[in-house]
Amino acid sequence: MPANPGKRILLVDDNKSIRTAITDYLGSKGYEIIQAEDGIKGLHYGLSSAVDVIILDVVMPGIDGVKLCQLLRDKGVSTPIIMLTEKAAIADKEAGFGVGVDDYLAKPFNPRELELRIQALQKRARSSNQPQEKIVKHGDLEIDFTRHKVKVDGKEVGLTPIEFNILKLLATTPGHVYSRQELLTSIWETAYEGYKRNIDPHVNRLRTKIEVNPKRPKYVLTVWGVGYKFNDKL
């Protein structure tokens, strides 16, 4: 069992001063920090270490943060990921959300804000793991709320906490159409308008994992001009 359950962080950033500042602050709050100074080492630790949150810089030698996130997700790592970035454009954020980033924090930042975002991600991850003693089956899709597991045609697929929470919300109310704003408020616990388009990349990644043909989805349907719903005609 980890020495600091719930407080193990993987920090991947090539800037030593930033690594030191984050490590000193979070360390004073009881967190254990595993440091990596480039994307290659970050990939190694991300695949081999049991951590609760991963913090990635965008621009790094070896493997950049967006590519590193994609590699981790492709390998089945569902640990919440926060991206540190100096790029605030929505297109840059969409690229990260599209490969499975859970949250963004722009540089420069207050370490306390980083801690709050870590706590928020862990809260969402815990809530998606809360026992409900319920297994929902729709066609070949099986969602186990108790164990936070999803199977398609009997094979388990790995979802990030946000992907699982989107699926959980939609699948428990088939046919109900959720606007992007409603999903945003429910999943991210925020109503900030600027994040609305970030729902779409997570839905797209969810579809690549549970749909036979993501371009012609069977489970998670788009209601044009409104939002998304779970198919109630299965």
CATH number at residue 202: 1.10.10.10
Question: Are 124 and 18 in the same domain?
Answer: yes
Q: Note the pLDDT tens digit of each residue in 63-78.
A: 999 999 999 988 888 8
Query: Where among 128, 159, 176 does a domain terminate?
Result: 128
What is the band of 193 on the pLDDT scale with cuts at 50, 70, 90?
very low
Across the chain, the runs of DSSP E, i.e. the strands, are 8-12, 32-36, 53-57, 81-85, 103-106, 135-138, 141-144, 149-152, 155-157, 178-179, 220-223, 227-230
Question: Are 44 and 146 in the same domain?
Answer: no
**Residues in contact with 207: Cβ distance below 8 Å, sequence separation at least 6, in sequence order:** 214, 217, 220
Which of 146-179 are b and which e, b meaning 16 or more Cβ less than 10 Å from the residue's Cβ?
A: eebebbbeeeebebbbbbbbbbbbbbeeeeeebe
Question: Are 71 and 118 in the same domain?
Answer: yes
Q: Note the pLDDT tens digit of each residue in 11-53.
A: 999 999 999 999 999 999 999 999 999 999 999 999 998 899 9
Please tell me which residue, 186 or 12, carries the higher pLDDT value: 12
Distance in angstroms (rounded) separating the CA atoms of residues 1 and 23: 22
Question: Are 101 and 29 in the same domain?
Answer: yes
Look up the domain containing 146 and give its range: 135-230
Question: Are 116 and 142 in the same domain?
Answer: no
Question: Are 90 and 171 in the same domain?
Answer: no
Q: Note the pLDDT tens digit of each residue in 122-165.
A: 877 666 555 444 788 888 999 988 778 899 999 999 888 888 88
**Residues in contact with 91: Cβ distance below 8 Å, sequence separation at least 6, in sequence order:** none
